[in-house]
């Protein structure tokens, strides 16, 4: 006989306890435990243990998997070159940011190239999917639609139709009849993902899963969901803005440093092949506190604008605000400016922003933040045809960063005339013509440039 018992799961990390706790011992989150009924079945007979054979690594062949292109260059870049057969991909993001739209576009591209695709929706009706599809374009008969939430029925349909790609929208609506808890619960999400993973590996088909996110920006449900899948993709950007950034958080088949940039239009998400030009559009000219920096996203250099506003404070403790860049890093750089350059910033409020809502965590942005703060403090604009990059140390030195040549070439391609960079990075850049390179060894040399 099956025996039911109550188990408490942490909604944040999936930690399991036999009783309710105020704070999760696994992740430290408060009031995150929920009670769920779990049915256990006694194992009648121990199954016989099969003989397992070990194989030396040198005798293993393969590794050169044949990828399936999505016919979307930005998505292929983030995936590492295309879709790997038998892979399980999780796509997360805020509501309304474009997850379903992008995946429906991928289904259209593949179906138009005579690949069988199955789109399974547990949230929308066939009519709603049809309305979104009419905006995207024409579809062929190779795209099949299914509105179902029962995983048993879904498994039967997949085994019958044998598609090359399956899209599940979304994992929180799927349920397994063997699990007694409600759809969207920790147990259901975990078991549903496990069944989909077995189907992907056993049938050698690729499955895309849409996952809702919490207000903290993580996928709703246990974090074990991210550990089970092969690839985790996150959509970034303001849903009210026109651009979207797709970033790989985990990828077993490629790099996690690449990003894809899209623009939301009426016909769907359109690729932005030159994100630097897109992010710099509308940049103010001859304005103090504005400087262009270059960040590397994988192998792609991306130019973006850093803005700073320094003004006298009306409080005993000055305010420090940072958007798109680490707040503690801004405080550290302001302390370096005050100590090494003698600028009295303790009586000024400082606001630093990366224009466009982009998040920049690379140390190469340090020099841009320092120059933007100094420019706003002195109220002297930096030449709009100047691009900067470099890491700033606590002694005020400008340290080298990786891939300086790619950064300079990107600035030259977009028409910048001057590049301020670490002096130690000038070696090997003599062959680049058409752009003036200014090497600086410390922030004290910036007084002559601003």
Residues annotated in a binding site for ATP:
93-100
Looking at residue 254, the DSSP 8-state letter turns out to be S
Residue corresponding to tokens 């005050």? 338
On whether the CB atoms of residues 8 and 32 are closer than 8 A, the answer is no
Residue positions counted in the chain: 450
169 closest CA partner among 205, 124, 214, 138:
124
Measured torsion, CA atoms of residues 145, 151, 153, 154, in degrees rounded to the nearest 10:
30
- Give SS3 for 229: coil
* Inter-helix orientation angle 99-112/126-136, to 10°: 70
The CA-based dihedral angle spanning residues 181, 184, 189, 191, taken in that order and rounded to the nearest 10 degrees: 30
Return d(Cα 389, Cα 292) in angstroms, integer: 9
Q: How far is 418 from 212, CA to CA, in rounded Å?
A: 44
Q: Considering just the CA atoms, what is the radius of gyration of the chain in Å?
A: 26
Asked if residue 136 lies in contact with residue 108, where contact means CB atoms within 8 angstroms, the answer is: yes
Say how far apart CA 231 and CA 43 lie, in whole Å. 34
Q: Residues forming the annotated binding site?
A: 93-100
Dihedral pair phi/psi, residue 134, rounded to 5°: -65, -30
Treating both helix axes as pointing N-terminal to C-terminal, what angle do 151-161 and 186-203 enclose, rounded to 10 degrees? Answer: 10
């Amino acid at each position: 006989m099956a025996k039911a018992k109550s188990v408490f799961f942490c909604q944040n990390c999936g930690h399991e306890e036999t009783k309710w706790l105020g704070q999760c011992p696994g992740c430290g989150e408060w009031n995150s435990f929920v009670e769920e009924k779990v049915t256990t079945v006694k194992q009648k007979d121990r199954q016989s243990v099969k003989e397992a054979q070990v194989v030396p690594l040198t005798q293993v062949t393969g590794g050169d998997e044949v990828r399936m292109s999505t016919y979307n260059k930005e998505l292929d870049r983030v995936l590492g070159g295309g879709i790997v057969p038998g892979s399980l991909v999780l796509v997360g993001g805020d509501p309304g940011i474009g997850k379903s739209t992008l995946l429906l576009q991928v289904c259209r591209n593949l179906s138009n190239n005579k690949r069988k695709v199955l789109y399974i929706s547990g949230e929308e009706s066939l009519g709603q999917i049809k309305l979104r599809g009419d905006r995207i374009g024409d579809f062929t008969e190779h795209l099949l639609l299914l509105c179902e939430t029962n995983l048993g029925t879904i498994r039967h349909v997949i085994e019958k139709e044998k598609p090359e790609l399956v899209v599940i929208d979304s994992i929180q609506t799927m349920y397994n009849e063997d699990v007694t808890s409600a759809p969207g619960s920790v147990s259901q999400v975990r078991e549903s993902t496990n069944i989909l993973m077995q189907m992907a590996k056993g049938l050698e088909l690729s499955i895309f899963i849409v996952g809702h996110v919490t207000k903290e920006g993580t996928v709703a449900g246990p974090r074990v969901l991210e550990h089970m899948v092969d690839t985790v993709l996150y959509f970034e950007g303001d849903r009210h803005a026109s651009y979207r950034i797709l970033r790989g958080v985990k990828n077993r088949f490629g790099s996690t440093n690449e990003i894809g940039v899209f623009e939301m239009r009426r016909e769907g998400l359109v690729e932005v092949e030159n994100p630097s030009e897109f992010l710099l559009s509308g940049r103010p000219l001859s304005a103090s506190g504005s400087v262009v920096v270059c960040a590397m996203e994988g192998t792609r250099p991306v130019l973006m604008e850093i803005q700073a506003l320094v003004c006298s404070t009306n409080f005993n403790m000055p305010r420090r605000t940072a958007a798109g860049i680490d707040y503690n890093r801004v405080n550290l750089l302001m302390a370096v400016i005050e100590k090494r350059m003698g600028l009295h910033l303790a009586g000024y409020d400082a606001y630093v922003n990366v224009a466009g809502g982009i998040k920049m965590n690379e140390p190469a942005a340090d020099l841009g933040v320092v120059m933007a703060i100094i420019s706003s403090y002195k109220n002297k604009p930096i030449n709009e045809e100047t691009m900067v990059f470099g890491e700033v140390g606590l002694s005020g030195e400008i340290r080298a960063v990786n891939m300086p040549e790619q950064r300079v070439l990107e600035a030259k391609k977009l028409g910048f005339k001057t590049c301020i960079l670490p002096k130690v990075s000038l070696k090997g850049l003599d062959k680049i013509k058409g752009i003036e390179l200014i090497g600086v060894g410390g922030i004290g040399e910036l007084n002559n440039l601003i």
